[in-house]
Amino acid sequence: MTKVEEIEADVNSSASRLRITEIFFSLQGETRTSGYTTVFIRLTGCPLRCEYCDTTYAFKGGEWWSFDNIIAEVKKFNTKYVTVTGGEPLAQKKCIDLLKKLCDEGYDVSLETSGALDISTVDKRVSRVMDLKTPASKEEEKNLYTNIKLLTKHDQLKFVICDRNDYDWAVKKINEYDLLSLCEVFFSTSHQQLKPQQLADWVIEDQLAVRFQMQLHKYLWNDEPGR
């Protein structure tokens, strides 16, 4: 049984609940809505083991939450932004239903996904923030490239860059798939592996039309869980 199948077997016992590691209110630290107050719903479980993962605590454990309780918790906070993250949220099939329910409630919803699982069934109102895993992540082979053709201007694509080889690989993928014509593309560094200034210099030198970003939460709160 694969890691995805193990996660699915654990969570498919109910049609209206999910295993949640945490729900918290903070500033969005990256992507298009960086700086906005946001409710984060972190689902438990992930089939990937990226070298730079900063949420290993979400691989196991968590607690069962009903959809009604999740929505009630989200409504405690004064914001229109909700981010569903992980782990890998799509490893729990019922995540698709939660995303739709959040959109129906009128929230501006984003989904942070590794890009290793099919995104075709995600509600079109959701902004899919998808990674392409670089060589240094050690999970490059998990990239599901058929997802790329599904991306729209409403979505976002992210590369986490660890070194120069990652950078060159990412540029090659941008050109190979004409990614800049599909959606907004973000470059950020793997924290403590590559200095942000170095990545910024490479982007400027190549006049690359990507959006450079720094993860605000890592600099504001040293990436504390729940912040």
Give CA angle at 221 (55, 198), nearest 5°: 80
Domains observed in the chain: 3-221 (3.20.20.70)
pLDDT over 50 at 12, yes or no: no
Please write the tens of the pLDDT for every residue from 68-118: 999 999 999 999 999 999 999 999 999 999 999 999 999 999 999 999 999
- CA dist 178 → 170, 184, 186, 218 (Å): 12, 12, 14, 31
Please report, to the nearest 10 degrees, the dihedral formed by the alpha carbons of residues 75, 77, 78, 80 taken in order.
Answer: -60
Give mean pLDDT, residues 58-68.
Answer: 97
19 neighbors 86 (Cβ within 8 angstroms): no
The predicted structure's pLDDT at residue 217: 72
The predicted structure's pLDDT at residue 68: 97
What is the rounded distance in angstroms from the CA atom of residue 31 to the CA atom of residue 25? 17
What is the rounded distance in angstroms from the CA atom of residue 88 to the CA atom of residue 112? 8
Give mean pLDDT, residues 192-210.
Answer: 96
pTM for the model? 0.89
Please write the tens of the pLDDT for every residue from 39-53: 999 999 999 999 999
What is the rounded distance in angstroms from the CA atom of residue 51 to the CA atom of residue 160? 11
What DSSP line would sit under 156-178, residue for residue?
EEEEEE-SHHHHHHHHHHHHHHT
Cα R_g (the chain), whole angstroms? 17
The predicted structure's pLDDT at residue 215: 81
